[in-house]
Amino acid sequence: MAFNFLARETGRVHVCGHRGYSLRYPENTVPAFEAAKVAGATTVEIDVVLTADDEPIVLHDLTVDRTTNGHGFAADLSLEQIRRLDAGVCFHPAFAGTKIPTVAEALDWAKRDNMGIVLEIKEAERPDIAVDRVEGLLRATGTLDRVIVISFDHVLLKRAVERHPHLRTEAITHARHADLVGVLRACSANSVSIELDMFCADDARALHEAGFSNRVHVPRPDALAPYWRGGRDPLPALVQWIADGLIDTVSGDDVPFIAMLAKRAGRTGAVS
């Protein structure tokens, strides 16, 4: 059975671990993906760049400095050099020895564990090559149905679909657009990523009526704490939107927190 991202067709909302369970585990690593699933995620968001030898790897930044014990641009390092880096020790010594996964490894994991992948193209110098390499891996691993390719670069998404019409894509937005459906049609996307403070129920209804899905990114509890202290709580409205089927995927760093919201809304269940 094909993996389905639409809440109205599955009867559930997907819970997406942003870079895996990145609040408690080294982001964009297999331990973070596995922990996200244990915590209630049904999908994980990953970031993709290319090595010097054009291998798609799971890494958010263009450099390896922040998340590993290495230095330099991933685009200047071979896969063999990337393999020698430690992607866990900088997060916490308990994760020493954790490696940067390849996209192929992430896809194999998703297929084996029946998880969806929200795959962001972060590659800046060779983005079209990154898309083509990812598309080849999706076909080779039989994971086209469980992956959405996403980007802030809507022109890149449009080119991707022109070359690979079977790709599912998602346009990332950080603003409320006057014609959100028109934005998605312009870049041939299937879905849109929306920040919680830019979500509008009417926009979600219009998206669903036009056949598009959405993913809403929810801030961590520490970012919401000032609202709570000020007597303002966005969560009741969010839970109601989830309960009403207006949100297809709820995404965040704190996977147990967003999984709790989905459960409170009564929109959890078997993945399909």
Is 60 noted as a catalytic residue in this protein? yes
Q: What are phi and psi of 117, to 5 degrees?
A: -125, 130
Tokens standing for 54? 């054009």
Residue listed under structure tokens 């308990």? 94
Find, among 237, 266, 213, 234, the residue nearest to 7 by Cα.
213
Distance, CA of 58 to CA of 133 (rounded, Å): 13
SS3 label, residue 213? strand
Cβ atoms of residues 28 and 46 within 8 Å: yes
Catalytic residue (choose from 14, 18, 154, 217) = 18
Residue listed under structure tokens 């390896």? 64
Is 174 noted as a catalytic residue in this protein? no
DSSP string, 5-41: --HHHHSSPEEEEETTTTTTS-TTSHHHHHHHHHTT-
Looking at the annotation, which residues are catalytic?
18, 60
